[in-house]
Amino acid sequence: MILVNGQGSDTVSALDRGLAYGDGVFRTLRTQAGQPMWWRDQYAKLAADCAALALACPDEAGLLAEVCRVAEAGQGVVKIVLTRGAGARGYAPPAAQACTRIVLAAPLPPHAQPDAAVDIMARWCTLRLARQPRLAGIKHLNRLENVLARSEWDDPEIFEGLLCDDSGAVIGGVMSNLFWVKRGELFTPDLSQCGVAGVARTRLLRAALRHGIRTHVGRLPPDAILAADEVVICNSVIGVRRVARLDDVTWSPAGWTDTLKTALDDEVD
């Protein structure tokens, strides 16, 4: 089921600025028994991303009602897309106007099923992310870099590709955020130059703080990961997954994935 501005519809205006320029933001969230998980964080991130692009974020209660309306009864995924709406030709954003809201449900993908393997295989992508601090961290609709990176492999055994920026700093996965543990301390890339700062990442950082795990957010080279004791990726749909293999490098479980998974699951709200 798809709701466009609250009405059942499977189309949007051909003049929508989301299509013309990628002028909008989105969220992909997990639902359970018809309710979104991590809603408070999801909405807060959506509102922050809208603010960064001067988009008028829809009212929380109304949006939540639409998410619940489309969500499947069991477990599932809901995607929310907000765009600056249909507009005249030209890059100039129109004076404040309501967003186009697209809210749609999809079944839980196989790799997000509760019984899916926690271990995944990853590879390095050759594409280097460009650094644009004005757009860094935002889950906006300009995702050609992700499309190009994801098209670098079609081996179904490879679950995720890892990306560096053009200065050589590790940024994260094509569709996930990246963490690693070294000597009991947690590391994750700084996303002030590029990348998407996902809600699972925010919650994991908060959980680590609550559990007294020392955390470092920084610009680090790929070697830092290769020297890690355990590497994980995360996002709102798959939760935490252990990177068992990255190209030719393999890791045996060191117990941290379960710790992080539990910490994330235990985060309230």
Chain residues that interact with its own copies, rule: CB under 8 A: 2, 4, 9-23, 26, 28, 53-54, 77, 79, 81, 83-84, 89-93, 102, 104, 106, 109, 127, 129-132, 134-135, 140-151, 154, 166, 174-175, 194
CB of residue 139 to its own copies, shortest distance in Å: 11
CB of residue 52 to its own copies, shortest distance in Å: 10
Place of tokens 């919650």: 203
Tokens of 136: 């860094």
CA distances from 208 to 43, 138, 148 (A): 22, 22, 33
* DSSP letter assigned to residue 119: E
* DSSP letter assigned to residue 112: G
Nearer to its own copies, 196 or 244 (CB): 196
For 234, half-sphere exposure in the C-beta direction (CA atoms, 13 angstrom radius) is 27
CB of residue 215 to its own copies, shortest distance in Å: 27
Nearer to its own copies, 59 or 91 (CB): 91
CB of residue 143 to its own copies, shortest distance in Å: 4
Nearer to its own copies, 146 or 257 (CB): 146
Nearer to its own copies, 196 or 204 (CB): 196
CB of residue 20 to its own copies, shortest distance in Å: 7
Tokens of 132: 């644009």
Tokens of 119: 């271990």
Q: Report whether 213 contacts 219 (CB < 8 A).
A: no
Nearer to its own copies, 143 or 206 (CB): 143
Element (H, E) at 102: strand 100-107
